[in-house]
């Protein structure tokens, strides 16, 4: 187990910089998830930690020791790849034992560790098979087993679930979570899937375009997104981001609905901004129900019943507003929908910088 | 392709195969009958087959010696190609400065005929003191550019993450080639084996120039020498030809399946 530090880490490919000075401190035993859209530099950062890519500038330290010049094999890390990267010409057991053989671990010890990892992952009955005789989920387990037998200082995962179908992905996510709680090892996990990030992480690092947008616990990221990008990226369905302004101590939505703000927001009077509303935090009101909260009243455009709830898209003065409402409360497009807004669930962002206000 | 009459397709294939195989059959038939090849009309089936021609070839000339030389040279050439081309092919899958220039140089070297390099090759061999030795015979055949590219294409088809995984698992570059890439490149290995074998087995010009003693000569030279020895010897000559061809055919049959995959994989995987 170990800490990992990234200090002003940059990476350029042939003159084009794709990672722009990343700082990150990962504590011993912490499970950190790097999340962001495709191409934002997550894999590149992971590969730099692994030693598979050179670091253009900056420092990476594992357990306090700078490892910039160390080969991957001397960094004591294990990596799980998106395509599993199992050696096709070796059996499952050989795949798992492979790295230990090159580290001078004795045969009985190798056997013990492989069997232990296999039983943790429930793949003991597959040890004699070749990777091509396994299903996607089984390969995934073997790939994790190969990392576990190493008992490394740091685990690295690069989109380990994205080659699985939706159902298996949920199942393996639970599996990884269980494993995480059992091993309590320092882990960096890369994904573009914000649900994986929310469910697995001790801390989430949201990235965009080679920059870190925000670092925080899943709750912090969800409750107080630092930028409008984070707000829009994390959460499903995504947060509504509407253009608005502050006037008379209230945030005014495009349709004119005014949401009174706490006194500390009054300094922004007159400013153009982005107003963020989480779809699940807008309270559905029955047609005649009374309320003392600000109310949005708009026609439904799209109605998507999911059974447990219904997703409705409203037309808010030309802007789409997505909301979650109770099942069977809204049935067809054209119906008017009333929503109560809790003032503390309103997020305000600067329209130019995207920063939270 | 899928439409039509399967029997018609088979008939065409059988016909084409017959055309290809007929010369081999004729050589074999003549070798075991001593027949006059100009006889008209030609006989299709052998009359009074016997093996005396093979015995003649074995004892009349130092055939075993030629065979041994050929086997040694071909073994060296095959080993050289399989190992050296793999190393070169791996290097070409990595990034290094001026890689494009190196590729261009290699490709343009393929355009130079061997005859044009014979004099420098001879001079170099002389300097190295390997004239008239097995090593000298094999030296120019130890690596072939085409076969380097066959390895390169095969290595590039191996997912990059496998090599990354191997690196994290602690393998050196040498071990990555030996334990990850080569086991996954059997068709490329087979192609190297077959081509290196055929080229060295059939090589004539270079052994002619570099050998001084009859003791060092290979089968193709022996065949030429044999031709000048005897007069009315079509049967014996053809027996010789059969004995020269046989090992090549055996090697090909053993590696055939992988060989064909090796030749076509570069084409389909880009
Ligand atoms: N080997 C490479 N050569 C050139 N550009 C690369 C290379 N690897 C990644 N990139 C570029 O770096 C950026 C970040 O890539 P990556 O880290 O793979 O993104 P992510 O994993 O977040 O999807 C992308 O724009 C990608 O095109
Ligand atoms: Mg990636």
> Does B169 contact A81 at a Cβ distance shorter than 8 Å?
no
Token output for B17: 């195969």
Angle between the N-to-C axes of helices B145-156 and B234-269, in degrees from 0 to 180, rounded to the nearest 10: 40
Question: Are residues B116 and B35 part of one domain?
Answer: no
Q: Closest residue of A to B162, CA-based?
A: A85
Q: Residue B268: what pLDDT?
A: 42
Residue B129 lies in a domain: yes
Q: CA of A201, closest CA in chain B: separation in Å?
A: 24
Token pair 């870190």: residue: A212
Cis geometry, peptide bond prior to residue B41 (ω within 30 degrees of 0): yes
Question: Tokens 């190297």 — which residue?
Answer: B192
Q: How far is CA B219 from the centre of its chain?
A: 14
Q: Tell me the ligand closest to A35's alpha carbon.
A: 1
Q: What residues does A336 pair with on adjacent strands?
A: A299
Q: Is A44 in the pocket of ligand 1 (CB under 6 A)?
A: yes
Can the peptide bond before residue B51 be classed as cis, meaning omega within 30 degrees of 0? no
Q: Which atom of ligand 1 is nearest to the CA of A13?
A: 4
- Asked whether A39 lines ligand 1 (CB < 6 A), one says yes
Claim to verify: residue B17 and residue B73 sit in the same structural domain: no
Residue A85 to residue B167, Cβ atoms within 8 A? no
Cα–Cα distance between A182 and A176 in angstroms, integer?
10
- When divided into structural domains, chain B yields a total of 2
Q: What is residue B218's three-state secondary structure?
A: coil
ipTM for the predicted complex comes to 0.87
Angle at the Cα of B162 (from B156 to B168), degrees rounded to 5? 130
Output the average pLDDT for chain A: 92
Contact in structure between B241 and B223 (CB atoms under 8 Å) = yes
Identify the CA nearest to A86 among candidates A49, A32, A131, A22.
A131
> Residues 16 to 75 of B: which have CB under 8 A from any A CB?
none
Is residue B85 domain-resident?
Answer: yes
Do B189 and B117 share a structural domain? yes
Task: Give the number of whichever ligand sits closest to the CA of residue A52.
Answer: 1
Sort out which chain A residues have CB atoms less than 8 A from B180's CB and list them.
87
What tokens were used for B38? Answer: 């100009």
pTM: 0.85
State if residue A333 touches ligand 1 by the CB under 6 angstroms criterion: no
Q: Which residue of B has its CA nearest to A156?
A: B168
How large is the average pLDDT for residues A82-88?
A: 94
Pair A88, B184: CB distance under 8 Å: yes
Domain boundary among B35, B50, B65: B50
Taking an 8 Å cut-off on Cβ atoms, the answer to whether A81 and B184 are in contact is no
Domain identity same for A149 and A52: yes
| pLDDT number for residue B267 | 44
| Ligand 1 mutation pick, A37, A40, A41, max ligand atoms within 8 A of CB | A41
Give dist(CA A44, CA A29) in Å, integer: 22
Whether B97 has its CB under 8 Å from any CB of chain A: the answer is no
- Residue ending a domain, among B33, B50, B67, is B50
**A71 has a chain B CB within 8 A of its CB:** yes
Chain B contact for A81, CB < 8 A?
yes
Q: Are residues A172 and A262 in the same domain?
A: no
Do A281 and A217 share a structural domain? no
Q: Same structural domain for residues A116 and A158?
A: yes
List pLDDT tens digits, range B222-231. Answer: 888 887 776 6
Q: Is the CB of A18 under 6 A from ligand 1?
A: yes
Of A177, A206, A233, which residue sits at a domain end?
A233
Could you tell me if A357 lies within 8 Å of chain B, comparing CB atoms? no
Measured from the Cα of A36, ligand 1's closest atom is: 22
Residues A123, A106: one domain?
A: yes
In percent, how much of chain A has pLDDT > 70?
A: 99
Is B270 inside a domain boundary?
no
Q: What is the pLDDT of residues A227-253, one digit of tens each?
A: 999 999 998 889 999 999 888 888 889
Say if strands A310-316 and A295-305 run parallel, antiparallel, or are unpaired: antiparallel
**Three-class DSSP category at A291:** coil
Q: What is the pLDDT of residue B266?
A: 47
CB-count exposure of residue B130 (10 Å: 0-12, 13-18, 19+): middle
Question: Contact A89/B162, CB-based, under 8 Å?
Answer: no
Q: Are residues A163 and A64 in the same domain?
A: yes
Residue A357 lies in a domain: no
B157 touches chain A (CB under 8 A): no
How close B168 comes to chain A (CA, Å)? 5
Cα–Cα distance, A191 to A200 (Å, whole number)? 11
Whether residue B167 lies within 8 A of chain A, CB to CB, comes out as yes
Q: How confident is the model at residue A1 (pLDDT cuts 50, 70, 90)?
A: low
DSSP per residue, A116-180:
HHHHHHT-GGGTTS-GGGS-HHHHHHHHHHHHHHH--SEEEEESTTTTS-HHHHHHHHHHHHHHH
pLDDT at A17: 96
Length of chain A: 357
Residues whose CB falls within 8 Å of the CB of residue B13, separated by 6 or more in sequence, listed in order? none
Task: Tell me how far apart the alpha carbons of residues B221 and A336 are, in angstroms, rounded to a whole number.
Answer: 98
Would you say the CB of residue A37 lies under 6 angstroms from ligand 1?
Answer: no
What is the model's pLDDT at position B2?
A: 55
The pLDDT of residue A292 is: 86
Instruction: Quote the domain boundaries for residue A16.
Output: 4-233
In this structure, are B88 and B222 located in the same domain? Answer: yes
Residue closest by Cα to atom 2 of ligand 1: A13
Same-domain pairing of A225 and A268 = no
Q: What DSSP designation does A200 have?
A: H
Domain boundary among A187, A206, A233: A233
- Position with higher pLDDT, A263 vs A186: A186
pLDDT of residue B228: 78
pLDDT tens digit sequence for B90-102: 999 999 999 999 9
CA angle B109, B115, B117 (to 5 degrees): 55
Is pLDDT above 70 for A333? yes
Give the residue from chain B lying closest to A97, CA to CA.
Answer: B169
CA distance A91 to A96: 9
**Could you give the 3-state DSSP secondary structure of residue A250?**
strand
Contact B175 A102 (CB under 8 A): yes
Residue nearest to atom 17 of ligand 1 (CA): A41
For residue A72, give the 3-state DSSP assignment: helix
Residue A118 in any domain: the answer is yes
Give the number of whichever ligand sits closest to the CA of residue A40: 1
Distance from C-alpha of B160 to C-alpha of A226, rounded to nearest angstrom: 37
Which residue's CA is the nearest one to ligand 1's atom 7? A13
* C-beta of residue A333 within 8 angstroms of C-beta of residue A303: yes
Report yes or no: A265 at the B interface, CB cutoff 8 Å.
no
Looking at the structure, tell me whether residues A34 and A81 fall in a common domain.
Answer: yes
Q: Please tell me which of the candidates A52, A78, A89 has its beta carbon nearest to residue B167.
A: A52
Residues B202 and B122 in one domain: yes
Contact criterion met (CB below 8 Å) for B124 and B210: no
* Averaged pLDDT for residues A121-128: 94
Integer Cα distance of B126 and B142 in angstroms:
17
Q: What is the pLDDT along chain B (270 residues), one digit of tens a residue?
A: 456 678 888 999 999 999 999 988 988 988 888 777 777 888 888 888 888 888 888 888 889 999 999 999 999 999 999 999 999 999 999 999 999 999 999 999 999 998 899 999 999 999 999 999 999 999 999 999 999 999 999 999 999 999 999 999 999 999 999 999 999 999 999 999 999 999 999 999 999 999 998 899 999 998 888 877 766 678 888 888 899 888 888 888 887 777 777 666 544 433
**Residue A355: inside a domain, yes or no?**
no
Structural domain contains residue A356: no
- The ligand 1 atom at the shortest distance from the C-alpha of residue A14 is 4
Per-residue confidence at A47, pLDDT binned at 50, 70, 90? Answer: very high
Looking at the CA of residue A47, tell me the nearest atom of ligand 1.
Answer: 17
A50 confidence band (pLDDT: 50, 70, 90): very high
Any bridge partners for residue B258, and if so which? Answer: none
Q: Which CATH number is A343's domain given?
A: 2.40.50.140
Q: Is A11 in the pocket of ligand 1 (CB under 6 A)?
A: no
**Please, which pLDDT band fits residue A149 given cuts at 50, 70 and 90?**
very high
The reply to whether A163 and A274 lie within a common domain is no
**Using CA atoms in the order B33, B39, B45, B51, what is the torsion angle rounded to 10 degrees?**
10
Q: Is the pLDDT of residue A336 over 60?
A: yes
In contact, A155 and A147? CB cutoff 8 Å: yes
Closest CA to B218 of B144, B143, B132: B132
Dihedral pair phi/psi, residue B33, rounded to 5°: -130, -15
């Amino acid at each position: 187990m170990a800490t990992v530090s990234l200090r002003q880490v940059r990476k350029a490919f042939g003159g084009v910089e794709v990672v722009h000075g990343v700082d990150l401190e990962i504590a011993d035993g912490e499970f950190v998830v790097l999340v962001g859209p495709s191409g934002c530099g997550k894999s590149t950062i992971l590969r730099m930690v692994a030693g598979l890519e050179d670091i253009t500038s900056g420092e990476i330290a594992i357990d306090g020791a700078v490892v910039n010049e160390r080969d991957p094999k001397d960094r004591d890390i294990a990596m799980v790849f998106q395509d599993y990267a199992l050696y096709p010409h070796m059996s499952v057991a050989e795949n798992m034992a492979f790295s230990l053989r090159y580290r001078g671990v004795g045969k009985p010890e190798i056997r013990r560790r492989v069997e232990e990892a296999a039983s943790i992952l429930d793949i003991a009955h597959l040890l004699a098979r070749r990777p091509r005789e396994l299903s996607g989920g089984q390969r995934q387990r073997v790939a994790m087993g190969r990392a576990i037998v190493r008992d490394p200082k740091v685990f690295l995962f690069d989109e380990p679930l994205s080659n699985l179908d939706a159902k298996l992905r949920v199942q393996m996510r639970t599996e990884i979570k269980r494993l995480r709680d059992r091993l309590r090892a320092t882990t960096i996990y890369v994904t573009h899937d914000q649900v994986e990030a929310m469910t697995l992480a001790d801390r989430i690092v949201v990235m965009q375009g080679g920059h870190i947008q925000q670092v925080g616990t899943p709750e912090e990221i969800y409750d107080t997104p630092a930028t409008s990008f984070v707000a829009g990226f994390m959460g499903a369905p995504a947060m509504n981001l509407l253009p608005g302004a502050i006037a008379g101590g209230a945030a005014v939505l495009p349709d004119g609905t005014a949401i009174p703000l706490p006194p500390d927001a009054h300094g922004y009077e007159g400013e153009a901004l982005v107003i963020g509303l989480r779809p699940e935090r807008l309270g559905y009101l029955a047609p005649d129900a009374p309320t003392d909260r600000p109310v949005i009243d708009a026609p439904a455009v799209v109605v998507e019943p999911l059974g447990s709830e219904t997703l409705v898209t409203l037309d808010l003065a030309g802007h789409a507003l997505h909301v979650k409402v109770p099942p069977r409360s809204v049935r067809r497009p054209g119906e008017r929908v009333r929503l109560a807004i809790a003032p503390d669930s309103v997020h305000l962002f600067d329209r130019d910088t995207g920063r939270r206000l | 392709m899928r439409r039509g009459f399967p029997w018609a397709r088979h008939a065409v294939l059988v016909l084409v195969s017959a055309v290809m195989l007929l010369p081999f059959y004729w050589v074999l038939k003549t070798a075991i009958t001593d027949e006059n090849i100009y006889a008209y009309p030609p006989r299709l089936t052998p009359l009074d087959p016997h093996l005396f021609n093979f015995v003649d070839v074995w004892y009349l000339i130092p055939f075993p010696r030629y065979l041994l030389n050929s086997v040694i040279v071909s073994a060296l050439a095959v080993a050289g190609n399989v190992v050296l081309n793999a190393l070169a092919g791996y290097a070409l899958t990595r990034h290094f400065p001026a890689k494009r220039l190196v590729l261009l140089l290699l490709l343009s070297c393929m355009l130079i005929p061997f005859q044009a390099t014979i004099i420098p090759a001879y001079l170099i061999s002389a300097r190295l003191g390997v004239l008239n030795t097995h090593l000298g015979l094999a030296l120019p055949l130890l690596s072939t550019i085409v076969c380097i590219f066959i390895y390169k294409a095969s290595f590039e088809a191996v997912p990059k993450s496998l090599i990354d995984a191997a690196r994290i698992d602690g393998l050196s570059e040498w071990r990555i080639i030996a334990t990850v890439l080569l086991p996954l490149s059997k068709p490329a290995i087979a192609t190297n084996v077959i081509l290196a074998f055929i080229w060295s087995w059939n090589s004539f010009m270079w052994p002619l120039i570099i050998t001084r003693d009859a003791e060092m000569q290979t089968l193709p030279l022996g065949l030429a020498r044999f031709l000048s020895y005897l007069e009315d010897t079509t049967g014996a000559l053809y027996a010789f030809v059969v004995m020269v061809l046989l090992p090549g055919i055996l090697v090909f049959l053993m590696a055939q399946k992988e060989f064909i995959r090796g030749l076509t994989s570069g084409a389909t995987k880009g």
